[in-house]
Amino acid sequence: MPVNRNALVRYKTIDACLQNRYRKWTLEDLIEACSDALYEYEGIRKGVSRRTVQMDIQLMRSEKLGYNAPIVVLEKKFYRYEDPKYSITNIPLTRQDLSTLHEVVGILQQFKGFRHFEEVDGMVSRLQHKIYTGGAQRKAVIDFEKNEHLTGLKHLEPLFQAVAQQQALQVKYQSFRAKIASENVFHPHLLKEYRNRWFVLGLIDQSEAPVLLALDRIQSLAPQPQVPYRFDPTLEASYFDDLVGVTKNLGQGPQRVLFWVDATNAPYVRTKPFHPSQVLEETRTDGCVFSIQVVLNLELERELLGFAEALEVLAPRQLRQRLAKRLQWAQARYQQNNQ
């Protein structure tokens, strides 16, 4: 059953009182202690009713909260724990608790490598220890997509801090196409993850246009506190709303992309859209026609080409011709290697 904050404060207060065996606790004493605790922690002045504390004791004794607290009444007046070592903070986790924690650990482990959340690693380790000692070790039932060999993760924390504090950085960067690395003053605005690869969006001093840097191509970062931070309010999460992927060509806006998918693959495209703007335009006997409103880029081409002969781009003509040419090149390569 769900428990609110006020109830938890009362339970912990009653627990602390009953652990103190150097004093005899009447119901009025427990009411006063709970009222004081609620005022201290929650700022509640009206106090606690007699019935509320009686119900709290009844719940603590029961199995509903999993406490099964051994609360006894002596001389029909004084409350105490029958077991002097008992505390609600020492109760073992249930099998269901351990099972749930096992799955939570799997989710939290996805943050390992994001150095800003390094405190999560310690929490995960403690949870893993609790599960192990609780005897709930079992195989995972959720397997998240991850890349254990991903490079550039060491830059996540300093970039996160730079974005949060709006601080410029001296960045040494070498793209895959560049022969040598270049150094620029960079003003980071937003961290973006796409297919297990991290990017940072921002501005460089030499240009007004936004720049997207892949973290695995960054060689070094150095804070530049003396450089005024350049802020662009358009460089936020919505910057990627009209994209499949992360690449946005300068000056290019979204276009309506119309494509046909054969009957076998149409259900996959319908249930996992290429883009949130996807619309089912027409249902045919041989398949379905969909549309999306996106900026044309390389990531979009790769997504569409992934369906090979099962998909045909109908519009715009520019994209249709581009994909037809790439398929021709692929066919020529296969024919050449088969000779």
Whether 248 is in a domain gets the answer no
Tokens 């494509």 found at: 259
Looking at the structure, tell me whether residues 159 and 182 fall in a common domain: yes
Residues 6+ apart with CB under 8 A from 90: none
Residue 124: predicted pLDDT: 54
Query: pLDDT higher for 106 or 325?
Result: 325
pLDDT for res 94:
57
Of 179, 213, 240, the one marking the end of a domain is 240
Quick: pLDDT tens for 37-54.
888 888 888 889 999 999
Domain final position from 70, 105, 133: 133
Residues 219, 279 within the same domain: no
Provide the percentage of residues in the chain whose pLDDT is more than 70.
81
Average pLDDT, whole number, for the chain? Answer: 84
Q: Decide if 53 is inside a domain.
A: yes
Mapping DSSP to helix (H, G, I), strand (E, B) and coil, where does residue 100 land? helix
The verdict on residue 304 lying in a domain is: yes
Q: Between these two residues, 93 and 7, which has the higher pLDDT value?
A: 7
Q: Give the HSE-up count for residue 262: Cα atoms under 13 Å, Cβ half-sphere.
A: 7
Together in a domain, 79 and 100? no
Question: Alpha-carbon distance 238 to 22, whole Å?
Answer: 62
pLDDT at 99 over 70: no
* Number of domains the chain contains: 4
Q: Cβ distance 232 to 239 under 8 Å?
A: no
Q: Is 138 within the bounds of a domain?
A: no
pLDDT grade, residue 140 (50/70/90)? low
Q: State the CATH number of the domain containing residue 324.
A: 3.30.70
Question: Distance between the two ends of the chain, CA-based, in angstroms?
Answer: 70
| Distance from chain centroid for Cα 51 | 42
Q: Is residue 188 part of a domain?
A: yes
Residue 117 scores a pLDDT above 60: no
Distances (CA, A) of 115 to 10, 118, 147, 200: 37, 5, 16, 16
Would you state the pLDDT for residue 96? Answer: 59
Q: What pLDDT score does 142 carry?
A: 55
Whether 247 is covered by a domain: the verdict is no
Beta bridge partners of 222: 170
Question: Are residues 171 and 113 located together in one domain of the fold?
Answer: no
Which residues form the domain of 191? Answer: 153-240
Cβ distance 203 to 233 under 8 Å? Answer: no
Query: What's the pLDDT score for residue 252?
Result: 84
Establish if 15 belongs to a structural domain: yes
- Tokens linked to 315: 């519009």
Count the neighbouring beta carbons within 10 Å of the beta carbon of residue 252.
11
Q: What is the pLDDT of residues 26-37, one digit of tens each?
A: 999 999 999 998
Question: 136: pLDDT confidence band, cut at 50, 70 and 90?
Answer: very low
With a cut of 50, say whether residue 116 has pLDDT above it. Answer: no
- 278 and 295 in a single domain? The answer is yes
Q: Residue 68 sits in a domain of what CATH number?
A: 1.10.10
Q: At 211, which CATH number? A: 2.30.30
Q: Model confidence over 180-208: pLDDT tens digits? A: 999 999 999 999 988 888 999 999 987 88
Please indicate, yes or no, whether residues 104 and 46 belong to a single structural domain of this protein. Answer: no
Query: Does some domain include residue 143?
Result: no
